[in-house]
Structure 1
Amino acid sequence: MQEKSSIVAENSTHLSLNIHKGKSKVLKINTINTSPIVLEGELLQEVDDFTYLGSIVNKQGRTNADVKARIGKAMTAFLQLKNIWSSRDLSFKTKIRVFNTNVKSVLLYGSETWRTTVTTTKMIQTFINTCLRRILQIRWPNTIGNQELW
């Protein structure tokens, strides 16, 4: 990794590009070598996880942190549309279309890189069902199965 980093730094200077050592981070996955990476005499910071293009990448390759962050962002999008969900002028069909286009798209952004596990699927489905129950104004005392939401 040290060799490759040095080659990238050397070739980038030929193109008048500079690597900012303060912004550069190192994430080592499945490696035995624990020696630090040095660029032009400066040590690069090692991290356990970081955000790349809106997705959280970590050493273990797990996606739970990213899924939780996505659910939080989707909940923010859902709450910003509170006036739409409480509107009596819009049909439920229109509200569901707004939900699918504005909330689900935020929720599932980057999901193609997630590992599909039972836990991940349950977390996402629970969030979607909770939102649909709020949109359809189904309160907790009412017994309606999840299949009937769809």
Structure 2
Amino acid sequence: MIINKKDNLAAVKIDNKEIEEVEAFHYLGSTINNKGTPDSAITHNIEKAKSTVIKMRPILICKELSLGTKIKLVDSSIIPILTYGLESIVLRKQDWTRLETVLNTIWRMILGTNDRKQLDVQQLKLKVNLPNLANKIMQTDQAYHIRRIKDQIT
């Protein structure tokens, strides 16, 4: 794969065999594309998170479970899927917006309202009382670096 803004027609050969050039490939659970943008990785994570939400929907809308329990379920099972592999990617504002939109939809489903006029984003964040997604991703990244440094020291 050649990551470049311009089309590069250079052929890469090893032992006189031309290496196939691809537009994207999966590596360690993340999708890497030749444009250098995280679009496909984010889309992949969003699709997996939505699939998980669909499977967990009966639990998430259950009236017998408390809001705190539902928040912990989302925090422990859906957010990790949504943010997997994003610690190492530079996210643009539009990427954050896409990720936050998915989470806001999940929170509205849990609270039993789909009407955005009835419960706007600010009210939603106050009601659910969770740290924002950017902080979660940065904490994951910092935890990784701390573990890595400890391993290097010992």
TM above 0.5, one fold? yes
Aligned equivalent of 1:104: 79
The residue that corresponds to 1:82 in the other structure is 57
Residue type of the alignment partner of 1:131: I
Q: Which stretches of structure 1, 4 residues or more, deviate above 4 A after TM superposition? A: none
Partners in 1 of 2:53 and 2:116 — Cα distance?
23
Match of 2:3 among 29, 33, 40: 29
Residue aligning to 2:32: 57
In structure 1, runs of 5+ residues without a counterpart are 1-26
Deviation at 1:142, TM superposition (A): 5.3
Q: Output aligned runs, 1:1-150, within 5 Å.
A: 27-30=1-4, 34-140=9-115, 143-150=118-125
Partner of 1:5: none
Structure 1 range deviating more: 67-76 or 134-143? 134-143
Q: CA RMSD in A?
A: 2.0
Partner SS state of residue 57, structure 1: strand
Provide the rounded CA distance (Å) in 2 between the counterparts of 1:105 and 1:32. Answer: 35
Identity of aligned residues (%): 27
Higher helix share: 2
Query: 1:64-101: per-residue Cα shift (whole Å, max 9, x none)?
Result: 12111110000011111112112122101100110111
Aligned residues: 124
Q: Distance between the aligned counterparts of 1:141 and 1:104, measured in 2?
A: 21
